[in-house]
Chain A
Amino acid sequence: MFPELNNLLNTTPDRAEQGKLTLLCDANTDGSFLVHHFLSFYLKANCKVCFVALIQSFSHYNIVGQKLGVSLTVARECGQLVFLEGLKSSVDVFFRAQAEPHPLQFLREANAENLQPLYEFVREALKPVDDGEAAWRCPVLLVDDLSVLLSLGMGAVAVLDFIHYCRATVCWERKGNIVALVHDSGDTEDEENNILLNGLSHQSHLILRAEGLATGFCRDVHGQLRILWRTPSQPTTQRDRSLTYQYKIQDKSVSFFAKGMSPAVL
């Protein structure tokens, strides 16, 4: 986790909020550093994490996680982390018929209707442990990323339904959190993606949007992060609070600064 981002979001691992849906969005840039931040944040906060990693392999997250101070292998072994490695399981699902329904079953089907097997997997993974030992603080579902599900043949409505079911189980029933990454395609007319993004934006409590700079590539400022706090359940007349910062990604951390106040410029 990045301490500066914790300060901006006004959270620490000890007092992480519960029952929230956080939407990570990137436009014209790579927002995966936010995924690494939340993964290490919730692991340090002693939460049980179910990570649906569809886009990169386990070793990638593990190596970056070690730079941020968490070990995914240890977390997986002691049961704190349930990791679904999309790339590896997709090969298994695709080439060999599976006995029981696999979370990525839709890869084999021509017209998969919904993501129910994936939801069952998440529900099973974040089941509360009944045997009395005080295990983990709250369940967290982390998805990287949802736009890939659209590329794999699911409709935007199916993905929204999946998130809705997960929210009902994880956020409302078990008082956990959900963090999901969606790519914003910008001006390419990806309608399904826009539907997904808009639908999720209206349901989320916190939106972190990483954008590239409007003026193009810069070596010292890698992009701009917009943070938007929302209250989707109660319509209020107050305006939602929003902040904008620019950032530069370094080897083990990300530094944030106000717009135009990059240390390279000052």
Chain B
Amino acid sequence: MAAVATCGTGAGSTGSVVAAGSKNNVTSFQRRGPRASGSDSSYSRLVSIAGTRPSVRNGQLLVSTGLPALDQLLGGGLAVGTVLLIEEDKYNIYSSLLFKYFLAEGIINGHTLLVASAKEDPADILQELPAPLLDDNVKKDFDEDACNHKTAESNIKMKIAWRYQLLPKMEAGPVSSSRFGHYYDASKKMPQELIEASKWHGFFFPEKSSSTLNIEPCSLTHGYIKLLQFIQNIIYEEGFDGSNPQKKQKNILRIGIQNLGSPLWGDDICCMENGNSHSLTKFLYVLRGLLRNSLSACMITMPTHLIQNKAIISRVTNLSDTVVGLESFIGSERETNPLYKDYHGLIHIRQIPRLNNLIYDVSDVKDLAFKLKRKLFTIERLHLPPDLSDTVSRSSKQDLAEPSKLLGPGCGVMAGGKKHLDF
């Protein structure tokens, strides 16, 4: 994977406002990266790939996921060469939105896209991408929406609740000269000319399923084999793995795979308890092998709530680099719970990789909730609302205590605690 040392301004690791992702300064000291294909001259070109920046901690090349708040939680962004697995929410509303943000970010940055789906034609998916928010419009909207945002008043010292000044500011306003991470307006569509100017490849499984296989049948399902061959072809032909050294400008390949593991791909792990239990995990392993040796980043959405065999979910988690789970409140009893009235769902960061390092950037905040405002998708720390009932009765406390007990021990990246300390 590309590792480039830089002295540019990086984003703060935990708990600070996302700084302007400015263009990185190339120093004379460049850590020799591991890519066997690159010669020395290619490293200077690596730095200048649009839409990427090196990580502060280990020089890993990062791309934005399309949501600056999520980038911050993942330690700056998604590392090139890794897989981001999104565990879908129950009705696939918010995960498909995250998928679209990822692709839209690719178009804005000029990356090549590879969209794979078994449900919708990739051309249709691209038509539905959200439009990017331009900077002057955004500032206006932010002032309208946010009456209690502290970002505008960050230099006002708090007198009474002074402890809150020390809290990390989760939500960051868009910075005008930001080249890394953009905001999108979910209510508007991406302009047609931007889509046409972008380079993309689509894999729509029902169209490709009829062609013959030229690989001997292993335990992978037909759809996965074809998808792997398609991805490998694109990576090889377009030189993302460095196989065409005379390509003038290096670029990132963003791979988006939708609903992996669903029955539409021909896999039966969502239907049966003892289905083909190795197909998906083998696919992920070979996919990760392809990604590690190329300049690409992949986002996969997977309906893990449908997988019958729970062992597969833990294996899939171990085989992915970054895992984020979405849990929406639609249809569950939490929709009416006063604890969650401001939010649309919870977001769980289940795993963050330790790449080239013993440690990683992990946010201290484990209880995160998201909400989809009119134009923005925000992720915030979940606060317990103050108990303002007239009589502090036992029953109301118990209602709130039950869901908070689920949150309390921390949906931890490192440990899922079962013991609840009662003080």
CA of A252 to CA of B58 in the docked complex: distance in angstroms?
13
A252 and B314 within 8 A (CB) = no
Enumerate A176-235 residues with CB–CB distance to B below 8 Å. 183, 185, 188-193, 211-217, 219, 222-223
Does B355 touch A at the CB level, under 8 Å?
yes
Does B218 touch A at the CB level, under 8 Å?
yes
Q: A63-B58, A189-B311 are in contact. Are A109 and B415 (CB under 8 A)?
A: no
Question: How many interface residues does B have (CB within 8 Å)?
Answer: 51
B359 and A250 within 8 A (CB) = yes
**Scoring A residues 89 to 123 as 1 if CB is less than 8 Å from chain B, else 0, what string do you get?**
11100110100000000011111000000000000
Residues of A within 8 A of B421 (CB): 215
Does B229 touch A at the CB level, under 8 Å?
yes
CA of A214 to CA of B409 in the docked complex: distance in angstroms?
9
Does B364 touch A at the CB level, under 8 Å?
yes
Does A29 touch B at the CB level, under 8 Å?
yes
CA of A67 to CA of B308 in the docked complex: distance in angstroms?
42
A214 and B318 within 8 A (CB) = no
Partner of B310, one of A183, A189, A249: A189
SS class of chain A's interface: helix, strand, loop or mixed? mixed
CA of A94 to CA of B292 in the docked complex: distance in angstroms?
15
B414 and A212 within 8 A (CB) = yes
Q: A107-B218, A148-B319, A212-B414 are in contact. Are A249 and B289 (CB under 8 A)?
A: no
A57 and B319 within 8 A (CB) = no
Q: Which residue of chain B has the shortest Cβ distance to A191 in the bound complex?
A: B311
Enumerate B288-343 residues with CB–CB distance to A below 8 Å. 288-290, 292-293, 310-311, 313-315, 318-319
A91 and B281 within 8 A (CB) = no
Q: Which residue of chain A has the shortest Cβ distance to B34 in the bound complex?
A: A59
Residues of A within 8 A of B1 (CB): 57, 59-60
Residues of B within 8 A of A60 (CB): 1, 355-356
Q: How large is the interface on A (under 10, 10 to 19, 20 to 34, 35 or more residues)?
A: 35 or more
Partner of A110, one of B217, B232, B290: B217
Pick from B33, B318, B319, B421 the residue with the most CB of A within 10 Å: B318
Does B410 touch A at the CB level, under 8 Å?
yes
Residues of A within 8 A of B355 (CB): 60
B414 and A29 within 8 A (CB) = yes
Q: Which residue of chain A has the shortest Cβ distance to B1 in the bound complex?
A: A59
Q: Which residue of chain B has the shortest Cβ distance to A211 in the bound complex?
A: B415
Does A88 touch B at the CB level, under 8 Å?
yes
CA of A24 to CA of B313 in the docked complex: distance in angstroms?
22
A217 and B288 within 8 A (CB) = no
CA of A250 to CA of B360 in the docked complex: distance in angstroms?
10
CA of A123 to CA of B285 in the docked complex: distance in angstroms?
25
A216 and B315 within 8 A (CB) = no
A154 to chain B, nearest CB (A): 9
B353 to chain A, nearest CB (A): 9
Does B3 touch A at the CB level, under 8 Å?
yes
Q: Which residue of chain A has the shortest Cβ distance to B14 in the bound complex?
A: A219
20 sampled A-B residue pairs with Cβ under 8 A? A29-B415, A57-B292, A63-B3, A89-B289, A90-B285, A91-B286, A91-B289, A94-B228, A95-B215, A95-B232, A148-B319, A151-B319, A152-B285, A185-B314, A190-B311, A191-B311, A215-B420, A216-B409, A216-B416, A251-B358
List the 3 closest pairs (A to B, CB-CB), nearest first. Answer: A212-B415, A216-B417, A59-B34
Chain B residues proximal to chain A, CB less than 8 Å: 1, 3, 33-34, 58, 215-219, 228-229, 232, 278, 281-282, 285-286, 288-290, 292-293, 310-311, 313-315, 318-319, 354-359, 364, 366, 408-410, 412-421
- Contacts A110-B217, A153-B219, A217-B414 supplied; 9 other A-B pairs, CB < 8 Å: A28-B416, A58-B34, A110-B218, A152-B285, A193-B311, A212-B412, A216-B415, A216-B417, A217-B417
